[in-house]
Structure 1
Amino acid sequence: MSTQNDTARAFKALHKPGDPLVLTNVWDAITANAVASLPATKALATASYAIAAAAGLSDDELTLEVNLRAVSAIAKVAKAHNLPLTADFQDGFGDQLDEGVRSVIKLGAVGINLEDFSRELGGLYPVAEAQERIRRVLAVAGEEGVPDFVVNARTDALFAGQNVDEAVQRGKAYLQAGAANVFIWGGPSRKGWSRGEVEKATEALEGKLNVILVRMKPDGLSVKELAEMGVARVSVGPQLMLMTAGSVGDAAAKILAGEGV
C-alpha cells in the first residue's frame, strides 16, 4: 500500500524540464471532478484566487480556514481518483504557516505553492526569511511523514517592480532552501512575460520553473513552446474560473431573454 510520501515522490518526479507537468487549476469539488476525470490529468492543483472568488472574497481576503475548507473538498476528489494534490497556499498565511501546512498535509496534499510576497508586510519577504519559511514547511512535512513534500516557491519579484535577474536570484535561493520548483509571477499589469524572459529564467534555474499558460492572451506561449524552452511545470491559475464565469453569464443572459437551455 502506497503512503502519502510515495505520492509526494511521484508528484515531484512529474516535474521534468522539457516535459512539463501541466496543471489546470481547480477551485471546488465540481471542477476537481471534471478535471480529475480527464485521462491526461496527472495531478490536481488549486488556485487561491478562484477559491477566494467562490467564497465571495478577494484573493487578499482569503483566510486559512476558507482555503482549507476548499482543499478538504478537493482532496476527497483527488483521493477518489488516486491523483496527487498540490494547494495554492499564498504567503503561508503569516504566522499560521506551520499550523496551515500541517493541516493541509493531514487533508492529503503533497505540495503547496508558497509566495514570497507577504500580505502582512505589504511587500516581499527578505530572501533569508523567505528561505527560512520554505525550510519550516519542509520540517513540518518531515514531521508528518512526507519528507518529499513539494514546495513550488513563487516569487513576486516582478510584481514588486524588480527585474528578471532579481527574480531568478530569489528563485535560486529558494531552490537552495529545499524548494523543488520555482514559480515566477509577472503580476496582472505585465499580462505574462516575454519568450526571452522565460528562456533566460529557464536556463538559469535549470528548468525548475513554473510558467502560467496565458490562455486569455492571443499571443501567449503554448504548452508545446514552453516545453521546448525546457520548463518543468505549466499552470493556468484562475483563468478557467474566469472563463467559466463568463460562459455562465452568457448562458444565463440567453435564458433570461427567452431562449431555451
Structure 2
Amino acid sequence: MSSQNDLAQTLKALHKPGDPIVLTNVWDAISARAVTSLPQTKALATASYAVAAAAGLDDQDLTLDANLRAVEAVAKVAKASDKPLTVDLQDGFGDELEGAVRSVVKLGAVGINLEDFGREVGGLYPVDVAQGRIRRALAVAAEEGVPDFVINARTDALLVGQSIDDAIARGNAYLEAGATNVFIWGGRERGGTRTEEVVKACEALGGKLNVSLVRVKPGGLTLGELREIGVARVSVGPQLMMRTVGAVGEEARSILNGEGV
C-alpha cells in the first residue's frame, strides 16, 4: 500500500502535457467503485456539481460538511484500490479554507480543485489573494505530511467576461504560487472554451492545462485532439452523473410500462 505522499507524487507525475491524465469524475462510493474497476483508471476525482446533486443541493449551495461526507465514502474506495484521490473543493469554502484542506487530506485526498471565484465575495479573488489561498492550501497539506499535494487551480475569468489572455495570466500566476495545473472554465452559458482558446492557453501554460471533455452533446474536442493539442489533464465534471440519471430514468420507465428485458 502506497503512502499518502507517494500517491500525491503519482498524481502529480500523471500530469503529462500531450499524455494527459483522464479523470472520469465520481460523486459517491458506487460510482467510485465502478470507475476503479476499470484497469484504465489511474486516479479518482470528485465533481462538486454531482456531489451536490446527490445531496439534493445546487452546486453553489454545497456545504463543506456535505462535500466531506461524499469525500469520505469515495476515499474508502480510493484507499482500497490504492489510487490517488483529488477532491473538487470549489472555492475552498471561504474562511474555512485551511480546515477544508486539512479535512480532505485526513480523509486521504492528495489533491484538490481550487476555484478563484469566491462565493463570499461574489466575484473573482484578486490575483494575489488567489495565489495566497493556493499557498495556504499547500502549507496545510505539507503540515499533514503531503508536501507533494496537487492543486488544479481553476479560474472563472472567462465566466465573468474577461478575455482568454486574462485567464492565462491568472493561470500562470497560480502555477507560480505552486499549483500543478490550471483549469480555465469556459462555462455552459458561453458554450464552453473554444478550440482556439484551448490551443492558446495550452501553449502559454506549457501544457499545464485541464480541459473538460464534452460527453453530453456532440461537437466537442475528442480525447485524441486534446492529446495532440498537448494538455496535461482531461476531466468530465458531472457528465457521468448526468448520463447515469438518464439511464436510471429510462430503465424505470421501462419497468413502469411493463416492458420486458
Q: TM-score range by the shorter chain?
A: over 0.9
SS at match of 1:159: helix
Q: What amino acid is the match of 1:50? A: A
Q: Which runs of 4+ in 1 moved over 2 A?
A: none
TM-score by length of 1: 0.98
Write the letter of the residue equivalent to 1:206. Answer: G
Structure 1's unaligned 5+ residue stretches are none
| Alpha-carbon offset, residue 191 of structure 1 | 2.3
Residue 98 (1) aligns with residue 98 (2): yes
SS in 2 for 1:255: helix
Q: Which residue of 1 aligns with 2:18?
A: 18
Task: Please state if 1:209 is matched with 2:201.
Answer: no
Do the aligned residues in 2 keep the contact of 1:192 with 1:214 (CA within 8 Å)? no
Q: Kindly provide the CA deviation profile for residues 31-82 of structure 1, in whole angstroms up to 9, marking residues without a partner as x.
A: 0000000000000000000000000000011000000010000000001111
Taking the aligned partners of 1:2 and 1:72, their CA distance within structure 2 comes to 18
Q: Which residue of 2 aligns with 1:139?
A: 139
Question: In the alignment, residue 141 of structure 1 is paired with which amino acid?
Answer: A
Deviations along 1:166-207, one digit per CA (max 9) or x if unpaired, are: 000000000000000000001111222221111000000000
The equivalent residue for 1:164 is 164
Rounded Cα–Cα distance in structure 1 between residues aligned with 2:206 and 2:118: 27
1:258 counterpart SS class:
coil
Question: Are the aligned partners of 2:210 and 2:234 in contact in 1 as well (CA < 8 Å)?
Answer: yes
| Counterparts of 1:50 and 1:174, CA distance in 2 | 26
Residue number in structure 1 paired with 2:72 = 72
Q: Determine the structure 2 residue equivalent to 1:113.
A: 113
Q: Mind listing any 5+ residue stretches in structure 2 that lack a counterpart?
A: none
* Counterpart AA for 2:188: P
Please, which moves more after superposition, 213-222 or 55-64? 213-222
- What fraction of aligned residue pairs are identical, expressed as a percent? 72
What is the SS of the residue equivalent to 2:160?
Answer: coil
Count of paired positions: 261
Return the alpha-carbon distance in structure 2 between the equivalents of residues 257 and 162 of structure 1.
Answer: 50
CA shift, 1:232, in A, is: 0.0
Match of 2:239 in 1: 239
1:163 CA displacement:
1.0
Hey, what's the Cα distance between the residues in 1 that align with 2:84 and 2:121?
32
> 1-side partners of 2:6 and 2:184: how far apart?
27
Matches of 1:7 and 1:254, distance apart in 2: 43
Q: Which residue of structure 1 aligns with residue 56 of structure 2?
A: 56
C-alpha contact 2:187 2:193 (8 A) present in aligned 1: no
2:13 counterpart letter in structure 1: A
Structure 2 CA distance for aligned equivalents of residues 255 and 164 of structure 1: 48
Counterpart in 2 of 1:123? Answer: 123
1:30 correspondence with 2:30: yes
- The structural deviation recorded for 1:246 is 1.0
Query: 1:260 Cα shift?
Result: 3.3
Q: CA RMSD in A?
A: 0.8
- Whether the 8 Å CA contact 2:2–2:82 is kept in 1: the answer is no
Q: Distance in 1 between matches of 2:190 and 2:101?
A: 31
Query: What is the TM-score of this pair, normalised by structure 2?
Result: 0.98
